[in-house]
Structure 1
Amino acid sequence: MWWYEPLLIPGLLQSEATARALLSAHRPPLDDEVIENRVTARLERQSLLHRKPPVECSFVLYEAALRCPVGGTSAHHAQLRHLVHLSELRHVSLQVLPFAVGAHPGLNGPTVLLETREHELIALAEGQSVSYLTSDLRDISAARQRHGMIRTLALTPDESARFISRVAEEL
């Protein structure tokens, strides 16, 4: 899995407090039962990060995703510490694309590429209220090019862990 996210911490990396805060901010409002069901489902999907054999996961987060204090200062601090912890997993690569990079191919939105067990590549496109999967080779090629350039411009995983730690300390 190769995932670039410009505005939010991806669901697979969210703490429970972050997931709950994001779902509680949904409009039109969701009822409490729906929020709880979605939080539970999101947390259950995170088992992918602990699957055996491990699934190789690469995440690049734009700095904006790290600066927005979703759930308040305390919850956000815990979320950032959670990211640093997840970045220590050998099969998880976490990089930060800092504001200082300027214009880059990720400003137009998220990019997610998935590889199945059969090695088929799938691109996921998401928006406010729609998402779709595609295996069209032109879409896959474009997503790979975008994601490759984003990773090239991003900080290394070690630099990224230090960057996230500094953002947490600033809170």
Structure 2
Amino acid sequence: MVLRRQLEHLVELSQLRHVEIQVMPTEAEENAGPGGSHRVLKLGDGKTLGLNEVQLISGLISDPRQVQILDMRYNLLGSQALTPRLSREFIEKLLGET
């Protein structure tokens, strides 16, 4: 029941105009994301920072070269994942199976 509610919530969020959800297919064994979770933060003053979160280590990255690498990896992940529409369809399919 918990998984079902989480999937329903993702579908609800995916319908918001300012939210994009993309699912990485499990069969995509080689992708740009196995290094752990990361975020690229683009601030209002034009500065860009990276936030890297991996097991036991988490940190803010301000070195422009390292932030650029994270940004490129983020964009690559987006191109490897399902489109937002296909991701929503995938989640809805999972909902039908739960």
TM-score by length of 2: 0.91
Distance of 1:97 and 1:87 partners within structure 2: 15
Give the RMSD, CA atoms, in angstroms. 1.2
3-state SS in 1 of match to 2:23? strand
Does residue 78 of structure 1 match 2:5? yes
3-state SS in 2 of match to 1:96? coil
Does residue 163 of structure 1 match 2:90? yes
1:33-92 deviation per Cα after TM superposition (whole angstroms, max 9, x unaligned): xxxxxxxxxxxxxxxxxxxxxxxxxxxxxxxxxxxxxxxxx0111011101111111111
Distance of 1:130 and 1:99 partners within structure 2: 25
Does residue 96 of structure 1 match 2:19? no
Identify the structure with the greater helix proportion.
Answer: 1
- Regions of 4+ moved over 2 Å: 127-130
TM-score by length of 1: 0.54
User: How many residues were matched structurally?
Assistant: 98
3-state SS in 2 of match to 1:119? coil
Kindly provide the amino acid, as one letter, of the partner of residue 113 in structure 1.
V
Gapped regions of structure 1 (runs ≥ 5):
1-73
Gapped regions of structure 2 (runs ≥ 5):
none
Identical positions, percent: 35
- Checking the alignment, whether the CA contact within 8 Å between 2:42 and 2:48 is kept in structure 1 is yes
How much does 1:141 deviate? 1.1
3-state SS in 2 of match to 1:94? coil
1:63-122 deviation per Cα after TM superposition (whole angstroms, max 9, x unaligned): xxxxxxxxxxx0111011101111111111111110122211112211211111212111
Kindly provide the amino acid, as one letter, of the partner of residue 167 in structure 1.
L
Kindly provide the amino acid, as one letter, of the partner of residue 39 in structure 2.
V
Of structures 1 and 2, the one with the larger relative CO (CA 8 A, separation 6+) is 2
